[in-house]
Amino acid sequence: MSTISDPPSGSFQLSMLINDTRYRSYTFQFIALILLILAFAYLGYNLLANLQAAGLNISYQFLGEPAGYDINQTLIPYTSQSSHWQASLVGVLNTLLVAFLGCLMATVIGVIVGVLRLSDNWLIRQLMSVYVEIFRNVPVLIWILIIMAVFIAVLPQPRDFRGDDPEATMFLNAFAFTGRGFYAPAPIFGPGSVAVIAVFLASIAGIFAFRNYAKKALYERGQLIPTFWPSLAIFFLPAITAYFIFGRPITLEYPELRGFNFQGGIFMRNSLIALWFALSIYTAAFIAENVRAGILAVSKGQTEAAASLGLRPGRIMNLVVLPQALRVIIPPLISQYLNLTKNSSLAIAVGYMDLTGTLGGITLNQTGRAIEAIFLLMLFYLAISLAISAIMNVYNNAVKLKER
């Protein structure tokens, strides 16, 4: 029986490094590691040699120096005397702003289109699939530039509002849609406005309380209390009453044509809108497909069961199908959010000052610190992606537990 040979022991040969499965994986990993180290050494060596030849060094001191340039949309205080670091922070906030707005609008459009793609209405179905196919199959950069072209070429410029017989007029004397962006009235909070806002917040809390009460009444006593109109009333009435009681403390500041531009009011710049709309409609096309797939993944029996309970189609969708579909929809939805955030770096094509525009654009150009600036830029996006992936993993695990 000892014909089955023992594993050769003791006599280690060099060829075993390749041919013996016990050692082979070590050999491979060793080689891979060496190659990796060599590759990094080679690149690093080249970098050093190039930097030395050009008389450069790697240094992040430029972040503390005054930036020297102005930014047209700043969510935090910034002047041209602020540091490059402050300019980068302005960029980060602008990135997050457009990403947030974009995700919000993309979700709304995407869910509506996704549901309508499964509608009973043949015409709507066709229109929605045309929408999805057109926006999915054309680069988002082209959409950004097209929407920007609408601003440049179609909408009237402030100069068209001027004169006795202007080519363009303001909408309701309060809104101006110009090629440079949209102007809307801005609220001015006078004394006493705090009280109005407090009343308003309290009424929102009241709506939630009322809805909870209605739910409880339904579950415990089987009593169906209408919620829509009362909620609406709670939302508006107290706040409006308070507004008049406190002597109309909140007034509106209307945009007004003064000098070269409209002054006053809220201004939304054309680059922000172009980027926001383009990212939203583009991403919405993908989200619509995810939503549709999610709804289709809910088995037909669920719909039929709900229908046999006598639920109306709207309620079937809201109470039975969507909650189950969400589990399928949310993971791809989050990766679409991630894509949208990454695509927001195309801001540079329309001159929106996001992080790519400040740190990776003007700061890089002015200081010439290409390696440092791009390294920081990548680090920022990487951090956002990893954070979102982490959230997604947590969510996936949470969903998994419920699922058996």
Say if residues 33 and 25 touch (Cβ distance below 8 Å). Answer: no
Determine which residue in the list 201, 342, 391, 394 makes contact with another protein, applying CB under 8 A: 342
Identify residues 80-109 at the interface with another protein (CB under 8 A).
80-81
Determine which residue in the list 9, 11, 77, 122 makes contact with another protein, applying CB under 8 A: 122
Q: Closest approach of Cβ 249 to another protein, in Å?
A: 29
Whole-angstrom distance, CA of residue 284 vs CA of residue 101: 13
Ranges assigned E (strand) in 153-276: 176-178, 181-184, 186-189, 250-253, 256-258, 261-263, 266-269
Determine which residue in the list 64, 119, 205, 391 makes contact with another protein, applying CB under 8 A: 119
Q: Closest approach of Cβ 149 to another protein, in Å?
A: 4
Determine which residue in the list 194, 201, 245, 382 makes contact with another protein, applying CB under 8 A: 382
Determine which residue in the list 12, 43, 76, 315 makes contact with another protein, applying CB under 8 A: 43
Q: Closest approach of Cβ 54 to another protein, in Å?
A: 4
Determine, following the binding rule CB under 8 A, whether residue 260 of this chain makes contact with another protein: yes
Whole-angstrom distance, CA of residue 362 vs CA of residue 72: 13
Determine which residue in the list 93, 96, 118, 124 makes contact with another protein, applying CB under 8 A: 124
Q: Closest approach of Cβ 326 to another protein, in Å?
A: 22
CA distances from 74 to 66, 94, 279 (A): 16, 8, 21
Token pair for 355: 């992080």
Identify residues 156-195 at the interface with another protein (CB under 8 A).
157-160, 179-180
Determine, following the binding rule CB under 8 A, whether residue 19 of this chain makes contact with another protein: yes
| Nearest CB to another protein, comparing residues 298 and 377 | 377
Determine which residue in the list 270, 280, 290, 336 makes contact with another protein, applying CB under 8 A: 270
Q: Closest approach of Cβ 1 to another protein, in Å?
A: 23
Determine which residue in the list 104, 134, 297, 307 makes contact with another protein, applying CB under 8 A: 134
By C-alpha distance, which of 392, 399, 397 is closest to 335? Answer: 392
Say if residues 356 and 347 touch (Cβ distance below 8 Å). Answer: yes
Size of the residue set binding another protein (CB under 8 A): 95
| Nearest CB to another protein, comparing residues 138 and 319 | 138
Distance of CA 238 to the CA centre of its chain: 34
Which residues make Cβ contacts (< 8 Å) with residue 167, sequence separation at least 6?
Answer: 156, 160, 161
Determine which residue in the list 8, 12, 31, 318 makes contact with another protein, applying CB under 8 A: 31
H-only helix segments in 81-227: 84-116, 122-136, 140-149, 193-216
Q: Is 84 helix (H, G, I), strand (E, B) or coil?
A: helix
